Each structure stands twice: as C-alpha cells, then as structure tokens.
C-alpha cells in the first residue's frame, strides 16, 4: 500500500498557518494547508506517494489551488507533480532555499501575470502582402518551372523557404509594434513560442497591480487600432507562471 506524501503547490510568505479548503489534487477532498519555516511557507495537501499523470483534470486542480491562494498571498508557483515524503522534508527545503525564495517573492510581490496572444485574421491577405513586398519571392513564383522534375521540386522548396523566412520577419516586425506600448509599463515580459502561421505574438507580462488597469486600456487601444487585421486573446490576472516556476528536483521530489 502506498504511503501518504505532501503535494506542494506554491511558496508564500507569512507568519500564521492557513487552510484553504478541501480542494487538493486527486479528487479525494484533501485539505489544502500550509507548512512554515520562519516566515516562509509551502502550500500543500496530502496525496498518495505516486507520480501524477499529466492530464487536464490534474493540471486544472493544481492551478485552481494556486489561484485560490493568490487571492490573499504573493505566490511562487511550484512545478506540477512535486511531492515530498513528509512535512520535515518540506521544512528542510524551505530552510535550505530560504534566501532564494524570499528574493523571488520580493520580485513578484504585488504583481500579476497578464498574457496576450495575437493572431492574423486573414492569412490569404498576409501571404499576398509578403509576395507584393518581396521581389525575390515574386520572381521565384513567376519563374517558369524547370526541367527535369527534380529541379522543379527544388524551385518549389526554395519558394516555401523564402515565404517562411519572410513570414517570420513579418511576425517579428508586427509584434514589435504591439510590444512597444505594453512593455513600457510592465516590470518584465517574455515572448513564448508561436504556433501556426497565423499567430503573430504570444507574450506574457509581469505588471504591478497598480498599473493593471492602464495595461488593460493599452491592450484595448491596440485591439481597436488593429482589430480588423488581428484577433487579440487577453488573459489574466494569473500567477507569475512565466516568470517563476520553482523546480524542487528533477524527479519532482523535494530535496
């Protein structure tokens, strides 16, 4: 029979123990509570000593706990599937990495993550623009197919590669126009990978709570200005997942 462990959701700062309700991962109704070393705490719940499968239900449960804690605390998210064998093991972790965790908490204190994805609405028009704005590509497209067929395939490949390069350059140029008004009021930002030809930008911003409304306004202004050309997907506030993701150990046990 598997023993009980302590699932770790996030790191917080405080002085008093806290209970957040029977919302623990695993669907058993485990109470989510805290374990402290000095004024540094870990938010935990009981779980069987097993490695959780990365599925949607478990990920949602993990994130919901962190979001609940974030209502009252600054949080350092801990990577999904982090399980300790005991409360003493968690206290040892907090003691060993006390200075590191307190420094990270100061960095994100009173700040939230806001995410913005931007996609082109009409890719046909984007590809037309690329051809019109790049004479070399237009020449490659208009050039009569060569013979034998191997050369013809090579020509098609050259067109595809040229268009792909031009597309990435166009994404970078248009993303830069969008970033300007936003990063000027963000404490930090990061660009995540884009997916598909139509995604122009996938960015996360760390923003002081006092500037959140101004940031909202600037996103709205961009959406109004470019709305006919681009679709804006704006999410948050969220925990600072893109800026802090505490890794306790490679196998996700506590050290």
Contact 134, 140 (CB under 8 A): no
pLDDT of residue 146: 54
| pLDDT of the residue at 255 | 38
| Residue-range domain boundaries for the chain | 4-109, 112-238
Q: CATH: 3.30.70, 1.20.120, 3.90.1520, 3.40.50. Which one for 112-238?
A: 3.30.70
pLDDT per residue, tens digit, the chain (255 aa), is 568 899 999 999 998 889 999 999 988 899 999 999 999 999 999 988 766 567 788 899 999 999 999 999 999 999 998 999 999 999 999 999 999 999 999 999 999 999 999 999 999 999 888 888 776 665 656 655 555 555 455 557 777 777 788 888 999 999 999 999 999 999 999 999 999 999 999 999 999 999 999 999 999 999 999 999 999 999 999 999 999 988 876 444 443
Q: How many residues does the chain have?
A: 255
> Who contacts 148 (Cβ-Cβ below 8 Å, separation ≥6)?
none
CA distance 197 to 128: 14
pTM: 0.81
pLDDT of residue 53: 63
């Amino acid at each position: 029979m598997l023993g009980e462990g302590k699932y770790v959701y996030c790191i917080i700062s405080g002085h008093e123990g806290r209970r957040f309700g029977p919302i623990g991962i695993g669907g058993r109704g485990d109470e989510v509570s805290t374990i402290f070393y000095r004024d540094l705490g870990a938010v935990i719940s009981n779980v069987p000593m097993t490695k959780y499968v990365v599925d949607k239900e478990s990920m949602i449960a993990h994130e919901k706990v962190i979001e609940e804690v974030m209502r009252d605390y600054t949080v350092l998210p801990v990577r999904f599937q982090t399980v300790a064998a005991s409360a003493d093991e968690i206290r040892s972790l907090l003691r060993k990495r006390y200075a590191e965790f307190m420094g990270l908490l100061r960095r994100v204190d009173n700040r939230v993550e806001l995410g913005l994805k931007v996609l082109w609405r009409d890719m046909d028009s984007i590809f037309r623009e690329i051809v019109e704005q790049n004479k070399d590509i237009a020449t490659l497209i208009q050039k009569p197919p060569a013979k034998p067929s191997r050369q013809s395939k090579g020509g098609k490949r050259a067109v595809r590669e040229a268009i792909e390069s031009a597309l990435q350059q166009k994404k970078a140029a248009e993303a830069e126009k969008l970033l300007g008004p936003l990063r000027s009021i963000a404490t930090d930002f990061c660009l995540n990978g884009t997916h598909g030809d139509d995604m122009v930008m996938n960015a996360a911003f760390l923003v002081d709570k006092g500037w959140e409304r101004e940031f909202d306004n600037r996103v709205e202004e961009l959406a109004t200005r470019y709305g006919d050309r681009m679709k804006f997907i704006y999410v948050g506030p969220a925990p600072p997942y893109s800026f802090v993701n505490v890794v306790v150990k490679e196998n996700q046990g506590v050290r």
